[in-house]
Structure formats: C-alpha cells, structure tokens
C-alpha cells in the first residue's frame, strides 16, 4: 500500500501538463476529535492518491487543515471521500478564485500536534465557544459600523499585498505572535467595540475568536470562510469589495487578485508591485516582492550576494549552504536589510497602481525538459555519476538537469561523456552513461535534457 509520494514535483508537473485536464485549487478545515491521527492520515493518502489529488494537509487529534489541487473531473469523488467522515459531512470547500494546474505538485499529509500553530493551551478555555460567523454582505455592513475594530490575523507578508480597509495589521511573522499583541492593544475595548477578525480561509479566526471571547471580549465576529470565500461571494452577489489588493495564498501561485489595486512596492526598486517570489539562491529562499525588471536584472535573487552565489560552481554553492536551515524563509521572515521598500505594521490603503492584466502567478518560467533516464551510481572520490538512458539520445554539449527530492534541481552542460566504458559523443536508449557531477546524486534522481 503506497503511503508516500513516489514522484518528484518535476515529474508530477510533466504528468499534469501531458494529461491536459483542468484542476481546481481548494482549501478546507474542520475541528474534530480524531482518535488515531496516523491511521486517519494513511486512509486519506490512499483515497486521495487514487484520485490524483495533491496538496499540503495537516492532521492532528483536533482536526484537519488542507490546501489542495484536485482534477475537476474527480471533484465529486473527492467530496465523497470527505463525506465518509461524519465531521466532514457538508463541509465548506473554499474553491480558489484563480486556478493554476501547478498550485501543488505533491500530496503531503503530515501528522502534527495542532493543525494551526497557535501556541495556546486549549485546556484553559472552551475552543468551541467561537465568534459569530459573518457572510460577505454582513461583513461589509459591520465594517461600516463606527464601533467596529477589524483585525487581520495573517502575517506581515500576507497583509502587505492586500487587506481590508481600516484593518489593524500586526507586524508579525506567525499567527501565535498576533494573539497577545492584539489582546494588549484592545484590552480597553472589550465591552464597547465589535471585534471583527479575518484570515485567509477562516481557520485561524476559528481558534482566535474563542480565545478572545475567553479573554472577555463581548462582541466577537469572524469572516466565514476567510478572504477566499469572501471573494467568491463578491462575484456571486455583485457586492462591493472592502478588501483592497491581492490575497496571499500558500501554494505555488502565491496570490489571488481580489481587486486591481496594487498597494505594495517592489522591495528592491520601489515600483508598484505585489508579486511575491522566492530568492533563486537555494541557500536563501527569502520570500519577497519583486517586479519584472528587477527579476530580470537580479535573476530572481534578493541581493547581489545571492546573485553572485547562483553563478558559483554548484559544488561551492552546496558547500556554502551545508548545515544551514533556510526552508522556513519560504513562507516566513520576508524581512532583510537588503529589501529597502519592505512595509509592515501600519499599511497604506491608497492604490499605488492598477493591475493592467492578470499577474503571472508562476514564480519561474517553466523549463522545457525531456526525461532521459535515472541515476544508477555515484563515484564519490572522482565525482562521477552513472545513468541509464531510457528515452531519446544524449549528446556531448547537451544541457541537462538532474532532479531529485534531496538533490533538488541542478543544471549542467555536458563537456565529456563516457558511454558503456568508452568516450564518445552520443548515447542511445539502453546505454550506460557516466560523466562528471560536482555534487552527490542519489538513486532517486532523474536525468533530463533541457530543450529550450
């Protein structure tokens, strides 16, 4: 029984493109008492893997939190896998405003202590005593009430590109940081104000609303289904958007446009821009906003230091990042002294520009490549890799890509190849090929030829 991914993200992307089927990006969550989270996780993986459902899902004894990509033709079958559990019957699925077939490229289901890292001791208050859920029309109406305080329970890099007008936008990197900050900031308004909160899909507010009611706030409200569901209701009901800008999302799209207003700036040059990217340097991966001009000039890098690093030999790049933990910077941090036009905390509500066309929500131009074969062996002392050619020819001078879950994506130009023990200029299907590789490869690695 398969319980884990066997394909790399790159292989999955190729399969999705070849299939040519529309996929839907969606999210959902449910708080419930789950007796055996590991078994629940495994059962979900088997069911969803059979439907080609992909995504990032967290499971805990308190429930499930999921962001996913599902083939449109399998949508109803996917819903049936949820309806099999009593606590997910009739569950609301937040379907994205904008779709991208590559929003998720793996099915990752992890068992965690909590489905959202909130830092709270749930035993100290009633987590089911939540705030009043408001639909889009009701949310708009309560925002017009002068006795309303609206709070954004997302992180600084999310609110920077889009938020509700007049919202408090805490300068935080994690959800757990915002709770005590807001509690202290609003402690004098527990009786006389409407505390109205929102987040991306509603899950953070579900716990936060119960926490603030426990703290003594009398009038607590939350946006049902978060910004994602709000945007959907705007279109269905023709409502005015009180949200301005773009909604940050936690998948490969990195954003859905709600209004055409651009309220943030390129962090490098200051031009109006709200497109996030991750630094190209594998030893950095800093999340930041970058315009097309800076993207071209800086080659997707956040600084001149990172730009210099990506042009180093691969073996030197690997040496520089050995032992460093940088993965969290992808969806955290987002702050650096190199980012001169970064804003957080109190944010503007005046549009700096208008989006002229839908933004390209892919971070990188897709590399066209053809799968050639797989890794067979790596000779550490001489730094030589051996591969079996299973598809098409490989020639001296070809630009190749070696890809794997640990190796990542590494590009090389072949100056010299050994085929079946003899130096030659080309290799055919079935040949064993060896050539110099300045980094360690694994048996799970695949060999591609870059064709663009």
- What distance in Å separates the CA atoms of residue 86 and residue 280, rounded to the nearest whole number? 44
- 304 occurs within a structural domain: no
- 21 occurs within a structural domain: yes
- 173 occurs within a structural domain: no
- 376 occurs within a structural domain: yes
The H-or-E segment that residue 41 falls in is: helix 37-50
pLDDT in tens, the chain (452 residues): 678 887 877 788 888 887 778 999 999 999 999 999 999 999 999 999 999 999 999 999 999 999 999 999 999 999 999 999 999 999 999 998 877 888 999 999 999 999 998 888 888 888 889 999 999 999 999 999 999 999 999 999 999 999 999 999 999 988 889 999 999 999 999 999 999 999 999 999 999 999 999 999 999 999 999 999 999 999 999 999 999 999 999 888 889 999 999 999 999 999 999 999 989 888 888 899 999 999 999 999 999 999 999 999 888 888 888 776 655 454 445 677 888 999 887 887 888 999 876 544 444 445 578 889 989 998 888 889 999 999 889 999 999 999 876 677 888 999 999 999 999 999 999 999 999 998 888 887 889 998 86
Q: Pick from 111, 142, 166: which residue ends a domain? A: 111
Count up the domains in the chain and report the number: 2
Q: How far is CA 214 from CA 7, 22, 118, 169, in A?
A: 46, 44, 15, 22
Clarify whether 199 is annotated catalytic: yes
* Per-residue buried b or exposed e for 233-262, using 16+ beta carbons within 10 Å of the residue's own CB: bbeeeeeebbbbbbbbbbbbbbbbbbbebb
Q: Is 28 helix (H, G, I), strand (E, B) or coil?
A: strand
Global pTM reads: 0.74
Question: Which domain does 394 fall in, by range?
Answer: 369-450
Helix residue ranges per DSSP H, 186-225: 203-214
Q: Pick from 111, 133, 162: which residue ends a domain? A: 111
Q: Pick from 88, 111, 134: which residue ends a domain? A: 111
Q: Are 444 and 384 in contact (CB under 8 A)?
A: no
Q: List CB contacts of 186: < 8 A, sequence separation 6 or more.
A: 149, 151, 193, 195, 217
- 432 occurs within a structural domain: yes
- 445 occurs within a structural domain: yes
Q: Is 106 helix (H, G, I), strand (E, B) or coil?
A: coil
Our measurement of the distance from residue 286's CA atom to the centroid of its chain's CA atoms, rounded to an integer in Å, reads 13
What pLDDT sits at residue 326?
A: 55
Query: Could you tell me the CATH number of the domain that includes residue 376?
Result: 2.40.30.10
CA angle 274–278–280, rounded 5-degree value: 130
Task: Name the DSSP letter for residue 72.
Answer: G
- 169 occurs within a structural domain: no
Query: Could you tell me the CATH number of the domain that includes residue 61?
Result: 3.30.70.100
- 139 occurs within a structural domain: no
């Amino acid at each position: 029984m398969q319980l884990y991914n066997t394909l790399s993200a790159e292989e999955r992307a190729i399969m999705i493109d070849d299939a040519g089927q529309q996929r839907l990006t969606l999210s959902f969550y449910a708080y419930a008492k789950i007796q055996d989270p590991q078994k629940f996780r495994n059962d979900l993986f088997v069911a969803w893997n059979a439907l080609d459902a992909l995504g990032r899902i967290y499971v805990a004894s308190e429930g499930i939190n999921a962001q996913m990509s599902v083939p449109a033709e399998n949508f109803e079958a996917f819903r049936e896998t949820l309806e099999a559990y009593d606590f997910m019957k009739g569950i609301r699925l937040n379907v994205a405003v904008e779709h991208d077939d590559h929003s998720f490229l793996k099915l990752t289901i992890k068992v965690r202590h909590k489905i959202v890292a909130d830092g709270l001791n749930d035993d100290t208050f009633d987590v089911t005593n939540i705030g009043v859920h408001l639909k889009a029309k009701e949310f708009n109406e309560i925002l017009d009430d002068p006795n309303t305080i609206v709070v954004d329970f997302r992180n600084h890099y999310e609110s920077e590109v889009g938020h509700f007008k007049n919202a408090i936008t805490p300068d935080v990197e994690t959800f757990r940081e915002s709770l005590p900050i807001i509690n202290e900031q609003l402690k004098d308004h527990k009786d006389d104000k409407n505390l109205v909160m929102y987040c991306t899909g509603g899950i953070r507010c579900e716990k936060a609303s119960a926490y603030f009611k426990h703290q003594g706030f009398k009038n607590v409200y939350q946006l049902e289904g978060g910004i994602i569901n709000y945007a959907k209701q705007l279109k269905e009901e023709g409502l005015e958007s009180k949200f301005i800008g773009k909604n940050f999302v936690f998948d490969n799209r990195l954003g859905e446009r709600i209004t055409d207003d651009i309220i943030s700036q390129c962090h490098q040059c200051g031009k109006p821009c709200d497109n996030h990217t991750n630094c190209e340097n594998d030893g950095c991966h800093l999340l930041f906003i970058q315009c097309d001009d800076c993207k071209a000039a800086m080659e997707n890098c956040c600084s001149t230091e990172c730009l210099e690093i990506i042009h180093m030999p691969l073996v030197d790049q690997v040496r520089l990042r050995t032992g460093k933990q940088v993965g969290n910077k992808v969806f955290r941090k987002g702050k650096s002294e190199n980012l001169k036009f970064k804003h957080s905390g109190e944010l503007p509500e005046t549009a700096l520009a208008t989006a002229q066309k839908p933004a390209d929500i892919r971070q990188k131009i897709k590399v066209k490549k053809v799968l050639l074969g797989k890794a067979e062996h790596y000779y550490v002392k001489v730094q030589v890799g051996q591969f079996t050619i299973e598809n098409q020819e490989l020639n001296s001078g070809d630009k190749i890509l070696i890809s794997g879950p640990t190796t990542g994506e590494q590009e090389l130009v072949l100056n010299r190849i050994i085929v079946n023990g003899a130096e030659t200029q080309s290799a055919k299907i079935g040949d064993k090929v060896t050539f110099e590789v300045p980094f360690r490869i694994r048996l799970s690695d695949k060999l591609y030829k870059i064709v663009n």
